[in-house]
Amino acid sequence: MTNSDAVPDRGHIHTEQANPASRQLDELDIPAAVALMHSVDQQAWQAVGAAQTEIAEAVRLVAAAFQTGGRLVYFGAGTSGRLGVLDASECPPTFCSDPGMVVGVIAGGDIALRRSLENVEDDEDAGAAAVALLQIKAPDVAMGITAGGTTPYVHAALRAAHEQGCTTILLACTAREHITVAADLYICLNTGPELLTGSTRLKAGTATKLVLNMLTTLAMAQIGKVHGNLMVDIDAMKNAKLIDRGTRMIQQLSGLPRDAAMHLLYAAGGKVKRALVMHHQQCDGVRADQLLTQHAGRLRPLLHKPT
């Protein structure tokens, strides 16, 4: 591309604009630079707070998809793609969810997780191909993550997912009027210009991470993978930290002493929910699993008298 007409001017996009507060960044002493960056970063969580209504709707849509066998699939490039892959990879150990339940797709594939590939975000064919490869269809939710809202790879993926009848969500850190792709829901975060102009790994990345944290944590809570504020749906036999955590959860919800709680955890094969149902319903692991299935994986109805 040598013709300026072939390269769109993105100067109006918030994340591409210069931040007046940091124009002398290279001249500041280190304490002043740290103070400035901390001050500027406040806009990230403020932007998320202003989008709570849209985020809540996204949680509702994703939880509904999970309840009907659908997946949440993130599409992004660069920092946005890496954050989607990170969130997806953390769901199985946190919620004992199937690895295919939340999927992160980054332009350029896994190599782009470790090494920046700046020439892949414009590849619309690859975005559409990723949808086809994953056989994305209703009731899946396809979520595009693009700080500036313009990434062609993400746009193509959302268009292809829409053609398959999927719910589509776009998460961006610029104004809605700057976004040209159609989506069922837009989450537009006004994070403003970055401290370092155009470096969306900063405020935009922070705000994006906050939203993804909310989305999967609260959707998983909606489908019974959380009890109170405890991540009870874990396989605790993976390491010593998880065995300890699982034991303490059983202690908290059963009143058992530590040794008895740990013995119960081992008897349940490391499954905290199964162990608690075994205790409260006075049953074996097979029956505990049956009861959890009958109650859609929800623990709370089973922490009372035997069913």
Domain boundaries along the sequence of the chain: 17-222, 236-302
Residue 17 is predicted with a pLDDT of 72
Count the Cβ atoms, other than its own, within 10 Å of residue 93. 13
What is the average pLDDT score of the chain?
94
Choose the catalytic residue: 16, 57, 118, 121.
121
Secondary structure of residue 139 in the 3-state scheme: coil
The whole-angstrom separation of Cα 243 and Cα 268 is 12
Report, at the CATH architecture level, how domain 17-222 is classified: 3-Layer(aba) Sandwich (3.40)
CA terminus-to-terminus distance, the chain: 69
Residue 124 bears catalytic tag? no
Q: Tell me the pLDDT tens digit for each residue of 241-273.
A: 999 999 999 999 999 999 999 999 999 999 999
The two structure tokens encoding residue 206:
């922070």
- In this predicted model, what pLDDT tens digit does every residue of 200-227 receive, in sequence order? 999 999 999 999 999 999 999 999 999 9
Any idea what the Cα angle at residue 215 is, between residues 214 and 218, rounded to 5°? Answer: 70
Angle of CA points 194, 196, 9, to nearest 5°: 70
Task: Classify 77 in phi/psi space as left (phi over 0), alpha (psi -120 to 50) or beta.
Answer: beta
Question: Percentage of the chain with pLDDT > 70?
Answer: 97
Q: Is the pLDDT of residue 145 over 70?
A: yes
- Among 16-20, 169-173, 227-231, 235-239, the least confident range: 16-20
**What confidence score (pLDDT) does residue 117 get?**
87
Kind of pairing between the strands at 185-188 and 141-145: unpaired
Per residue in 58-67, pLDDT tens?
999 999 999 9
Q: Which residues contact 252 (CB under 8 A, 6 or more apart)?
A: 230
Residue that has been written with the tokens 């990230």 in this structure? 44
3-state secondary structure of 102: strand
CATH class, range 236-302? mainly alpha
- pLDDT computed for residue 1 by the predictor: 47
Alpha-carbon gap, residue 62 to 131, rounded angstroms? 18
Alpha helices in 97-239, H assignment, sequence order: 111-114, 124-133, 152-163, 203-222
CB-count exposure of residue 1 (10 Å: 0-12, 13-18, 19+) = exposed
Calpha distance 18→220 (Å, rounded): 38
Residue 109, Cβ neighbours under 10 Å: how many?
A: 13
**pLDDT for residue 265:** 97
Can you tell me the mean pLDDT for 86-111?
96
177 is catalytic: no
| Predicted pLDDT at 187 | 98
Name the active-site residue from 54, 57, 90, 124: 90
- Helix H or strand E segment including 145: strand 141-145
- Give the integer Cα–Cα distance in Å for 173 and 194: 11
Instruction: Tell me what pLDDT residue 12 has.
Output: 82
With contact defined as beta carbons under 8 Å apart, do 277 and 300 qualify?
no
Threshold 0.75, pTM exceeds: yes
Q: Is the pLDDT of residue 2 over 60?
A: no
Nearest CA among 169, 164, 138, 150 for reference residue 74: 169
